[in-house]
């Protein structure tokens, strides 16, 4: 028995579901202006960033999440030059965006300067120099407020925010008012992707509601999923835009764009993965057809 690990990180995925990772070290534990923050080193997933008790990413499998969030919209777009990133404090979303040679400018707005400092210090593999890339323009503040006061338009917008919890800083960035603002900030043929929370059977409400809400604003919305083990299962995303269809690209075209535009080898994303991302099982498509919850500023959705 002495051989079992003694130290554990405990995450309440839902009130009735817990996941625990054994911990090798606690590198940081404190509070920023906006949230509690921890960096822990785990046996299963390496170093992990925890905000308000929820895992945000792990060294070991963050590539799945960040490649899934960034490449489907950017590859679907014919020539993405300017990209807006809401959140993304770890720097890994910027890393994937800046891997696209077509991108000449990325504007990133994150509210929590201390999280960025923590990640640069304890999780440098996440940003891998993105913060030094001259194409990145970094602002600290509320992304919704930033977008309300700019006239700039973007080829792609990537929404990489923590989940909407009642005490947290992000819940007003999941509403139809916010998505309408995003649409106005897109160039023609513009595309967005949104991390939209847990997409595991039984924990689907946020994922479905984000997709429903996007549909009230955008003509085309494509829900998709990728398994991110440290998040406790399959994670949901949505791709939306003015009309581009990620499934209309042939596998050969996806491979051609990857080869032509992305400056380094990817680990998760290729044409086969692209196809699989958008393939939802029957029960999930049925559940999405039945649930019509949407999110608005005066009807916010809070997850556990």
Active site residues: 160
Going across the sheet that includes 105-110, the strands are 136-140, 105-110, 82-87, 154-160, 186-198, 233-241, 220-228
Where in 222-261 is the site for a second copy (CB under 8 A)? 226-227, 229, 232-234
CA atoms within 13 A on the CB side of 140: 8
Distance CA 283, CA 298 (A): 30
- The reply on whether position 19 binds a second copy by CB under 8 A is yes
Number of residues that bind a second copy (CB under 8 A): 70
- The reply on whether position 7 binds a second copy by CB under 8 A is yes
Instruction: Write down the least CB distance from residue 55 to a second copy, Å.
Output: 9
For 127, residues 6+ apart whose C-beta sits below 8 A from its C-beta are 90, 91, 92, 94, 95, 119, 120
- The reply on whether position 8 binds a second copy by CB under 8 A is yes
**Which listed residue (283, 293, 300, 302) binds a second copy by CB under 8 A?**
283
Closer Cβ to a second copy, 104 or 283, answer by number: 283
What DSSP string describes 144-192? Answer: HHHHHT----EEEEEEE-----TTSS-GGGSSHHHHHHHHHTEEEEEEE
How far, in whole angstroms, is CA 279 from its chain's centroid? 19
Instruction: Write down the least CB distance from residue 155 to a second copy, Å.
Output: 25
Instruction: Write down the least CB distance from residue 127 to a second copy, Å.
Output: 21
Interface residues with a second copy (CB under 8 A)? Answer: 1-12, 14-26, 29, 36, 38, 40, 42-45, 50, 52-54, 60-61, 63-64, 165, 167-168, 200-202, 226-227, 229, 232-234, 266-270, 272-273, 275-276, 279-283, 285-286, 304
């Amino acid at each position: 028995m002495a051989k079992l690990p003694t130290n554990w990180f405990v995450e309440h995925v839902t009130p009735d579901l817990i996941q625990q990772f054994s911990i090798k070290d606690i590198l940081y534990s404190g509070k920023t202006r906006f949230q509690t923050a921890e960096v822990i080193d785990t046996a299963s997933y390496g170093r992990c960033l925890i905000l308000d008790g929820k895992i945000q990413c792990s060294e070991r499998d963050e590539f799945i999440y960040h490649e899934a969030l960034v490449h489907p919209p950017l590859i679907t777009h014919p020539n993405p030059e300017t990209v807006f990133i809401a959140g993304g404090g770890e720097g890994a979303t910027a890393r994937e965006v800046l891997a696209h040679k077509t991108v000449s400018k990325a504007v990133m707005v994150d509210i929590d300067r201390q999280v960025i400092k923590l990640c640069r210090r304890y999780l440098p593999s996440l940003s891998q120099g993105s913060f030094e890339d001259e194409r990145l323009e970094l602002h600290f503040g509320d992304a919704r407020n930033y977008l309300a006061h700019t006239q700039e338009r973007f080829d792609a917008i990537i929404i990489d925010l923590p989940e909407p919890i009642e005490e947290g800083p992000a819940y007003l960035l999941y509403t139809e008012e916010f998505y309408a603002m995003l649409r106005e900030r897109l160039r023609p043929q513009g595309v967005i992707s949104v991390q939209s929370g847990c997409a595991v059977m039984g924990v689907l409400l946020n994922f479905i509601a984000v997709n429903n809400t996007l549909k009230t604003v955008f003509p085309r919305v494509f829900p998709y999923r990728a398994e991110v083990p440290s998040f406790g299962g399959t994670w949901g995303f949505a791709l939306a835009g003015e009309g581009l269809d990620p499934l209309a690209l042939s596998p050969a075209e996806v491979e051609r764009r990857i080869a032509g535009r992305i400056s380094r080898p990817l680990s998760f994303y290729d044409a086969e993965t692209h196809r699989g991302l958008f393939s939802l099982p029957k029960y999930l498509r049925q559940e999405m057809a039945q649930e019509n919850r949407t999110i608005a500023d005066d009807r916010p959705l809070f997850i556990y």
